Structure 1
Amino acid sequence: MTTVPAPRVPGLVELLDRLERAVAAALIPVTSAEGVSRDGWRVLLMLARTGGCSMGEIASHTTLPAPTATRVVDRLVASDLAYRRNDPVDRRRVLVHLARDGRALVERVCGRVERRVGAALGSAHTPERAQLAKLLQLLADRRTEEPVGI
């Protein structure tokens, strides 16, 4: 009986996978305690960063199918974390905005997760930590420029 060697997992791919799991481990308990799903959290972050967004923009940014994005926004609206308003420029278009309670939730979750990650990395702002932040930002920016993948 011959054994097939396990495929080599490139270091960066494995690291990105481990990083995604670490982020989920830090984020999911905090957002779940606030009653927000992972998809709901992505929408809230987008709204906190950009202001009013159309459903198409939300679906595109979160890579959710349009019906799923609508259900996520419906839940956020029902929980008073977001609200819908007609676009003042184009009254046919509806925009989703972050509500006051949604902004407070984003600030709470970000604060808790940043403290947790800060404790894991140490509180010192080192050149290495600044470089890591720069590289992660570059990777995130590239991800949004190339929707098919990295």
Structure 2
Amino acid sequence: MTVPAPRVPGLVELLDRVERAVAASLTPATSAHGVSRDGWRVLLMLARGGGRSMGEIASHTALPAPTATRVVDRLVADGHAYRQNDPVDRRRVLVHLAAGGREVVERVCGSIERRVGTALGAVRTPERVQLARLLEDLANPDPE
């Protein structure tokens, strides 16, 4: 007896393909700078500014706290981030983006944006803005 294949909605398959394409672009770009994908996620978070606690980093990256600590340890050892006591609560340590981390973020983002720009070359600016908004909505769904 043959079991029919499950129906795979077109959008789900497309999102899976896009995720793989992003990984295929990001992994070599971040690896060239000695940064893992988890490290990359931390660098992007730190690039938004301000210091972040280890709890915030673990929550944002969906990493277990010990793994987040190892990732940050590596970023600090490589000069991409640094730790500093919170000026408001001296018991708390915040992680900040170092100059080396900022350089990695700028180079990787520039490289990926050029690639995406080439792929979207025929797409006009209003459609690019609309696409960015749709992707933002998809990445940050409202809780129901």
Mapped to 2, the partners of 1:28 and 1:88 lie a distance apart of 35
AA partner of residue 95 (structure 2): V
**TM-score (structure 2 length as normaliser):** 0.94
Aligned residue for 2:133?
Answer: 134
Deviations 1:42-69 (A, max 9, x none): 0000000132000000000000000000
Mapped to 1, the partners of 2:125 and 2:2 lie a distance apart of 46
AA partner of residue 37 (structure 1): S
- Report deviation, 1:25: 1.1
The yes-or-no answer on 1:10 pairing with 2:9 is yes
Aligned residue for 1:46?
Answer: 45
TM-align CA RMSD: 1.5
Mapped to 1, the partners of 2:54 and 2:88 lie a distance apart of 16
Q: Percent identity?
A: 78
Counting only pairs closer than 5 Å after superposition, residues 1-150 of structure 1 correspond to structure 2 as 2-122=1-121, 125-142=124-141
Mapped to 1, the partners of 2:49 and 2:37 lie a distance apart of 18
Mapped to 1, the partners of 2:104 and 2:88 lie a distance apart of 29
The count of aligned residue pairs is 144
Mapped to 2, the partners of 1:65 and 1:45 lie a distance apart of 18
Helix, strand or coil: the match of 2:15? helix
Mapped to 2, the partners of 1:81 and 1:34 lie a distance apart of 10
AA partner of residue 61 (structure 1): H
Deviations 1:83-126 (A, max 9, x none): 00000000000000000111111001100110011111116533
AA partner of residue 43 (structure 2): L
Q: Segments of 4+ in structure 1 off by > 4 A?
A: none
Mapped to 1, the partners of 2:100 and 2:68 lie a distance apart of 20
Structure 1 gap segments, 5+ residues each: none
Helix, strand or coil: the match of 2:84? strand
